[in-house]
Structure 1
């Protein structure tokens, strides 16, 4: 069954990337602003003081409105940088767009000369995750590199060492990226909620989070 599910992923990745790319730049901008506004309201209502958020690549939902909201509202903002091992991410604090520079895969990444490392023990109040597809039960289809799945495992270990609870993981995407069921296997990290320009979908996938969504 696991092998069957894995076999479905490449075709779904191709189809969902094409679907996302088909949105016009104006549509993506409009939907990004709406989704980020919805997520900002959620973060504000729960009092989160620090978030880990991705930097948009190509046709992904643009997180710039959310990041600028965080800066304006005193929410510390951490973004990822792909490590040279090609398997892990390091997190850095950014306080302005000057803290970024072109990085791996064409993604803007923290500039070590202008951004501060968060350190291995940093536990964000929420993790904002990109993807190609999501479902309403928390399934996520990533790009296949496994960065977020490995970060999930590392964060779980850091939280366990401190005797705490995992922060919520929130998938951020367009409504058009929702599917009936994402093919997943035992290594995939699940989302506690999916936020789109139209709604917040609470999956109820995990219990024991530090935050009641």
Structure 2
């Protein structure tokens, strides 16, 4: 389907799902977050992962701090992103506790470079938790429009999982040829594994 102004459509969708999240009351958010966290932490792919790549959540996102603490307690290597200044690139660094974080780009907590080891090319079995304002049934995501994760995931070799509220899921999102869908989508109601195109007959 041809969409005349995809940028305008994405802008409107971002505003819609941001409003949805901002209107959520604290008690409801805690309940939904706990359900999503439980589904993620009992996921077979999480249990087998050696390294967890995970963003540090902002107030309108599914809380990831509990997941980070759980992964550290599970003796997994936990890698958190840092935006590279003056670029649209990001790097991941291993952290050993939340005290390894400081406020960085866009006011988001990022790893303190002097305290943390940068992730290299070898990170074993890895699971990457990907942020998104919305996801669709095919695993495509609507991000914040800067393209940080799109660039990073182009060379990521592990399994990707999107976590999102059911109210922010829609059947089809506009996406480009090079956009990569997540492998697994988790909401408070279900876990959906997405068939990769090369796996389908």
Same fold per superposition (TM over 0.5):
yes
Between 1 and 2, higher relative CO (CA 8 Å, sep ≥ 6) is seen in: 1
Structure 2 residue aligned with 1:169: 160
Structure 2 residue aligned with 1:159: none
SS of the residue aligned with 2:92? strand
The more displaced of 104-113 and 43-52 is 43-52
Distance 1:120 1:49, change over 3 A: closer
Structure 1 residue aligned with 2:42: 41
Distance 1:98 1:45, change over 3 A: closer
SS of the residue aligned with 2:196? coil
Counterpart of 1:179 (choices 145, 151, 170) is 170
SS of the residue aligned with 1:21? helix
Distance 1:81 1:121, change over 3 A: same
Gapped runs of 5+ residues in structure 2?
Answer: none
Q: How many matched pairs? A: 198
Using structure 1 for the length normalisation, give the TM-score. Answer: 0.85
Counterpart of 2:181 (choices 182, 190, 213) is 190
Normalized per residue, the structure richer in strand is 2
Deviation at residue 43 of structure 1 after TM alignment = 4.4
Using structure 2 for the length normalisation, give the TM-score. Answer: 0.90
Note if 1:126 corresponds to 2:127. Answer: yes
Q: Which runs of 4+ in 1 moved over 4 A?
A: 43-46, 120-124
Counterpart of 1:204 (choices 170, 180, 195) is 195
